[in-house]
Structure 1
Amino acid sequence: MKILAIADEESRSLWDYFTKDKVEGVDLILSCGDLDPGYLEFLVTMTNCPLLYVNGNHDRKYLQNPPEGCICIENRVYDYKGLRVLGLGGSMRYRPDAPFMYTESEMTSRISKVNREIILRNGFDILVSHAPAKGYGDMEDLPHQGFECFNQLLNKYHPAYMIHGHVHKTYLPGSFEREIRHPSGTRIINAFQSCMLEIGRDEYPAVGKTGSFLYDFVMTLKQKRGPKY
């Protein structure tokens, strides 16, 4: 599966100078936040494939103007052709009145609330977040610190990928890392601007093959009824 991951800054190559060949073969778009809703609408229209997104800490505008034609996956596990994608947007709280900022305990609470969905699906394959995990691609200042509870989540479920944004390449001149390997085995990808991922068919279960009897039964029935995002 070919995935376009985007975050933080609109890519001029994909917007101002867009050509169809740049997104040829893309099956799914994952947005990690802090992007213009018009940009997401443009990409989902031009690629004609699903775009799943979480909120960044600067996405207050999404409350009044959510990107049309795109799918918000905040606090849920979204299944796309067997690929289980968990969405947990937002950053560490550094302002009291911001809608998409969380303390460590608040993010931990969000994970607890979605844990039933994770268990039902026998895990997840990709964590899409805005902030990084603490110690893996984050920074020392409070606004750009990562969440420790993300480390606990990765260590418990061992997803193949975590894709985040929030830490711009320009914030770490000379030391920016696009990919970091987590001790859990998860590949952590910073999607700043954009990057392409090729996810092998062996990296996620086939539809109806997660090992969760109830969930597999439901998904098999849905598959028989025809394709649907």
Structure 2
Amino acid sequence: MRILVVSDKESTYIWDHFDREKFKNIDLIISCGDLKAEYLSFLVTMINAPLFYVHGNHDRTYIYNPPEGCTCIDDKLVVFNGVRILGIGGSPFYNGKEFQYTEKQMEKRVQRLIPKIWWYGGVDILVTHTPAFGLGDAPDVVHTGFKVFRRLLDKYKPKYFLHGHQHLNYANGNRIIKYNDTTIINGYRYHIFDY
């Protein structure tokens, strides 16, 4: 299964110079947040593949104008082509706006998902906006990763962990990190991989 992951900055390569041929084999699109709703609707229409998304800390417009034709997987575990995908959006709390959480609030969200994870027998792809603590995050309050995400990785060992929030042009931005049995992919702009 070929997956297109997008996050944080709309790609002019895709949006302004779309070439259907380059994306004809995409089976699924996953957004890790902070993209315009119109961009996600464009992707799902032009690529003609399902699009799952979680909220980023700048996605407050989604409350009134969600991306058309796309599926929000925030706080959900969905199965697509036999692949179990868990979505948990949001960023660390820093100014009190929508989709921001303290570590304790994020822990409570994750706790509510444990029965679903158990029911489905685990997770294959974890999708978040913010990285896990110490795995592609940054030391400032806005970009520090969640410790509870790291515990999820340690306990359930998903094959992939997709996130955004940490732009690749930031000081320690890495596209791909290997952590135990999990491949961590920063979806900044876009990245295509085969599951």
TM-score band (shorter)? over 0.9
Residues 110-155 of structure 1 deviation map (CA, whole Å, 9 limit, x = unaligned): 0011111110000010000000000000000000000000010111
C-alpha contact 1:37 1:62 (8 A) present in aligned 2: yes
C-alpha contact 1:14 1:22 (8 A) present in aligned 2: no
Equivalent position to 1:178, from 175, 178, 187:
175
CA-CA distance at 1:47 after TM superposition: 1.1
CA-CA distance at 1:191 after TM superposition: 0.5
CA RMSD between the two structures: 0.7
Residues 172-198 of structure 1 deviation map (CA, whole Å, 9 limit, x = unaligned): 2xx431111113x11110010000011
Q: 1:140 matched to which residue of 2? A: 139
Q: 1:39 matched to which residue of 2? A: 39
State the alpha-carbon separation in 2 of the partners of residues 198 and 48 from structure 1. Answer: 17
TM-score, normalization: structure 1? 0.84
Residues 69-94 of structure 1 deviation map (CA, whole Å, 9 limit, x = unaligned): 00000001011010110000100000
Q: Which amino acid aligns with 2:68?
A: E
CA-CA distance at 1:171 after TM superposition: 1.5
State the alpha-carbon separation in 2 of the partners of residues 181 and 60 from structure 1. Answer: 32
C-alpha contact 1:86 1:126 (8 A) present in aligned 2: yes
Which runs of no fewer than 5 residues in structure 1 stay unpaired?
200-229
Secondary structure, counterpart of 1:57 in structure 2: coil
State the alpha-carbon separation in 2 of the partners of residues 169 and 2 from structure 1. Answer: 22
TM-score, normalization: structure 2? 0.98
State the alpha-carbon separation in 1 of the partners of residues 30 and 179 from structure 2. Answer: 20
Equivalent position to 1:187, from 180, 183, 190:
183
Larger CA Rg, structure 1 vs 2: 1
Give the structure with the higher percent strand. 2
Secondary structure, counterpart of 2:40 in structure 1: helix
C-alpha contact 1:55 1:89 (8 A) present in aligned 2: yes
State the alpha-carbon separation in 2 of the partners of residues 87 and 76 from structure 1. Answer: 6
CA-CA distance at 1:22 after TM superposition: 2.0
Which runs of no fewer than 5 residues in structure 2 stay unpaired?
none
Q: 1:203 matched to which residue of 2? A: none
Residues 1-60 of structure 1 deviation map (CA, whole Å, 9 limit, x = unaligned): 000000000000110010101212000000000000000000000111100000000000
State the alpha-carbon separation in 1 of the partners of residues 105 and 178 from structure 2. Answer: 26
